[in-house]
Structure 1
Amino acid sequence: MRTVVIGESLVDLVWRAGAATIRPLPGGSPANVAIGLRRLGRPVTLVTCWSDDPPGALVGERLAAAGIDVERVPGASGRTTVALAYVDDATGAATYEFLAVWDPVRVPVADDAVLLHTGSLAAVVRPGAARVLAACREVRGRPGRAVAVDLNVRPAVLPDRAAYRTAVERIARVADVVKASDEDLAWLWPGRGPSESARALLARGPRLVVLTRGAAGATGFLPDAEVSVPAPRVRVADTIGAGDAFQSALLDGLWTGDAVRVPAAPDELERVLARAVRAGALATTRPGADPPTRAELDAGLTGP
């Protein structure tokens, strides 16, 4: 039994404020989540696409080195997505611009998949987003299966706020677990508090919505409960891949034996969220998308 992760693999061109050079780092939110699950010892298959161009070579090398099972599907355009990540030296926060491509000709899901994870560009960039949505519907219709989505909103790939909201609401309807940051929800629904937006998403069909708040921790929303956990204090190198490391640990925490189960009790959800927050914090202590191993996560964190 395994997790299938569907989504983009790309190269981040990391430009630090005041720096004279740009550093290419292969990443992509779904690819980062797949690698994070692999480091936590979970069987995972990444369904993705990239081209035989220089950025694609970096993607291929990284995924090969990670040791994960990859199903590389053809892309219609023959291009690899590239993101320009601007990193603020003072805070480590990254903002993005994209040369975005997400056009897989198919998105297969293995029969032994108990969990499908997707999100980010894959959920909103056409034409691939429609194929991802169909895969989510298929998996959620299987008994004992679950679908998880990380919104990971990137306005640069779809500046039309109304169109982005429509895409998010559409995929939330076919998800069991939805994760979003406070920044994601503030952009999607300006003028509305992130908790209110999270509750609105929950009403569309998921069994759990998780709201991340950066250094302030995270909150999980169940139909009849709300659970918040703080984040540990760490010295931040940058925030690239932190949300993906959080998501990997969250999905790992939902596994019970050969099934995926959404916690029904607040104390159980609190344990899952606390571990995910530790994973995200640990990822910020090193540059680029570098999620922790199970041993590192079990060892915990030491603050600055």
Structure 2
Amino acid sequence: MITVVGEALVDLIAAADGRTFTAHPGGSPANVALGLSRLGQRAVLGTRLGDDLFGRMVRAHLVESGVDVRALPAPTADTSVAFAATDEAGVARYDFRLSWDVTDLPPLDGAECLHTGSLATLLAPGAEVVEAAMRTAPTVSFDPNVRPSLSGTPEQERPRVERQVALSGVVKVSEEDLAWLYPGADPAAKAAQWLALGPSLVVVTLGSQGAHAVTATRATTRPGPPTQVVDTVGAGDAFTAGLLHWLSTAHLLGGAHPRIAELPATALDNALDFANAVAATTCSRAGANPPTLDELGSVRDLLP
């Protein structure tokens, strides 16, 4: 079982006219839980959802795919909303209306991994609750998923992000996030520097160019498969779900993440190729709509 903690919300995605919006269930952690469940993992999502029109839609969407949704206690209850518009390449930009004021998390008993990040590790007061849980989980997976419109300056955010990287066993970060946090820095070099903070695996997603991974014993870059992109909403979250599913199948979570350094080159390549394929499939359709294991076809052969 993998426990995911973080925001679930509605993405209102603008059409080409900029005036018509389509509602899609979203939220980075919720998307990861959805992706895990569709791949066959037992996924628990601790989140904040209102008993309103959007909240009922999001909950039904997640439960339909098998996610165990657990509403976290919070003083406010309205379901959060993100407005999204995509550019000519299908890359999304966001404007948020949300809060993250949870006061407690689901118990981690039986969970082999806690995955979190995004707004759940950024927004007070709930971020403090989440960070406390990161200190006790057997394995922590972290995706900073930086949101500049809700953050301070890069100089203000770096200490927080680096502190949370140091609490994690597995870190996934996009090259866009690194470019904002460390303007002009080489993504591969920064991944190696983050690895030195304590994680066993740091992966940088490179958009259509695939992903780069570094462990204590090796580094590798794997290309993404050719894809007809509809939009990139949820692509990074789908990648995270694919990566965690691969690591779980290899019995490298549950406190066993230090053994990731022992992975031979072929196995590490397979992990990235599997995660890249999950993300690419998500990019080929609208919204955060990750694939099931059956939809991946022969890609399933990359699993250990």
Q: Say yes or no: TM over 0.5.
A: yes
For 2:96 and 2:18, how far apart are their aligned partners in 1? 20
State the number of aligned residues.
Answer: 294
Partner of 1:216: 209
**Same amino acid, percent of matched pairs:** 42
Any conservation in 2 of the 1:4–1:109 contact (CA below 8 Å)? no
Kindly provide the amino acid, as one letter, of the partner of residue 11 in structure 1. V
Alignment of 1:79-158 (within 5 A): 79-88=78-87, 90-139=88-137, 145-158=138-151
What secondary structure does 1:113 align onto?
coil
Partner of 2:170: 177
Report the Cα offset of residue 193 of structure 1. Answer: 1.4
For 2:239 and 2:108, how far apart are their aligned partners in 1? 24
Kindly provide the amino acid, as one letter, of the partner of residue 133 in structure 2. A
Report the Cα offset of residue 259 of structure 1. Answer: 5.3
Relative to structure 1, is the Cα distance of residues 256 and 21 closer, same or farther in structure 2, using a 3 angstrom cutoff? Answer: closer
Partner of 2:75: 76
The C-alpha deviation readout for 1:181-239, integer Å capped at 9, x for no partner, is 10010001112111122122111111110000000010101123111101111110100
Partner of 1:283: 282
Any conservation in 2 of the 1:208–1:221 contact (CA below 8 Å)? yes
Q: Which runs of 5+ in 1 are unaligned?
A: 140-144
Any conservation in 2 of the 1:37–1:249 contact (CA below 8 Å)? yes
The C-alpha deviation readout for 1:147-200, integer Å capped at 9, x for no partner, is 101121111121332232222111111100000010010001112111122122
Relative to structure 1, is the Cα distance of residues 226 and 258 closer, same or farther in structure 2, using a 3 angstrom cutoff? Answer: closer
Report the Cα offset of residue 97 of structure 1. Answer: 1.2
For 2:190 and 2:298, how far apart are their aligned partners in 1? 34
Structure 1 residues 17-26 or 217-226, which shifts more? 17-26
Q: Which runs of 5+ in 2 are unaligned?
A: none
Alignment of 1:222-261 (within 5 A): 222-256=215-249, 260=253, 261=256
Partner of 2:270: 271
Kindly provide the amino acid, as one letter, of the partner of residue 18 in structure 1. D
2:42 aligned with 1:43, yes or no?
Answer: yes
What secondary structure does 1:179 align onto?
strand
Any conservation in 2 of the 1:241–1:283 contact (CA below 8 Å)? yes
Any conservation in 1 of the 2:83–2:96 contact (CA below 8 Å)? yes
Any conservation in 2 of the 1:169–1:201 contact (CA below 8 Å)? yes
Kindly provide the amino acid, as one letter, of the partner of residue 89 in structure 2. T
Q: CA RMSD in A?
A: 1.7
What secondary structure does 1:42 align onto?
coil
Kindly provide the amino acid, as one letter, of the partner of residue 119 in structure 1. G
Report the Cα offset of residue 19 of structure 1. Answer: 4.3
Partner of 1:142: none
